[in-house]
Amino acid sequence: MSKSLPPSVARLIDAFAQLPGIGPKSASRLAYHLLRAPVEHSLMLADALRDLKARTKLCSRCFNITESDPCEICADERRDQGLICVVEDPLDVSAVERVRSFNGVFHVLHGVISPMNGIGPDDLKINELIARIGKQASTDTPVREVILATNPTLEGENTAAFIQRKLANSSKVSVSRLARGLPVGGDLEYADEVTLSRALEGRQRL
């Protein structure tokens, strides 16, 4: 960073540059925007960041980000606890919820199997999914179906196939995959409501 910048500004630009999708120029623009903006804007951002780290945690059932445990979706008695949609990231939960046609619950893996990046099955919440299904088997709401909604990428497909094999060996639940209404190589997070709704409706049994 240029020595012409005050250290506090340089640190903020460096911090913004660590965010995904933010390059050096965008980081600089964000920093200078905050410098010009009323001080209340900066304080509001600082408060939001502090609350983010202090208040959020992972739901002990589905591992979605929440401020309460269990999360609102898992605790909702109107949701179908026997239908679990498995997604890669918390943002994918929001994407499916926008469709308003899915009344089940979720399980967030927090990534995909990616040997190139040193991420194996044990680094994800796959074992927790198997344990969750086993635990529910002896309740009034056993898991009937697991929808594998990982993204249609190579890593997403490999992760879905791995989970399918694990469930085939350890349970009798039905396993389905989102229909190919989603573009290959696309992310669930950016799918529009119509495409995602059709993918859910046309999911295929594996």
Domains and CATH numbers, the chain: 7-55 (1.10.8.420), 77-205 (3.40.1360.10)
Confidence of residue 185 (pLDDT cuts 50, 70, 90): confident
Structure confidence by residue, pLDDT tens digits, 94-120? 999 998 899 999 999 999 999 999 999
Query: pTM value?
Result: 0.82
Residue 158 pLDDT exceeds 70: yes
- In this prediction, residue 4 carries a pLDDT of 78
Residue 169 pLDDT exceeds 80: no
Beta bridge partners of 67: none
Confidence of residue 122 (pLDDT cuts 50, 70, 90): very high
| Encoded amino acid at 86, one letter | V
Residue 152 pLDDT exceeds 90: no
- In this prediction, residue 1 carries a pLDDT of 54
Residue 167 pLDDT exceeds 70: yes
- What integer best gives the mean pLDDT of the chain? 91
Mean of the pLDDT values across residues 169-184? Answer: 79
- In this prediction, residue 84 carries a pLDDT of 98
Neighbours of 129 (CB within 10 A): 22
Q: Coil, strand, or helix at residue 148?
A: strand
Q: Check if the beta carbon of residue 155 is closer than 8 Å to that of residue 114.
A: yes
Residue 116: Cβ-neighbour burial (10 angstroms; 0-12, 13-18, 19+): exposed
Q: Can you read off the two tokens belonging to residue 22? A: 């933010």
Give the span between the Cα atoms of 38 and 176, in whole angstroms.
51
28-37, 43-52, 64-73, 189-198: range with lowest mean pLDDT: 189-198
- In this prediction, residue 190 carries a pLDDT of 79
Neighbours of 13 (CB within 10 A): 22
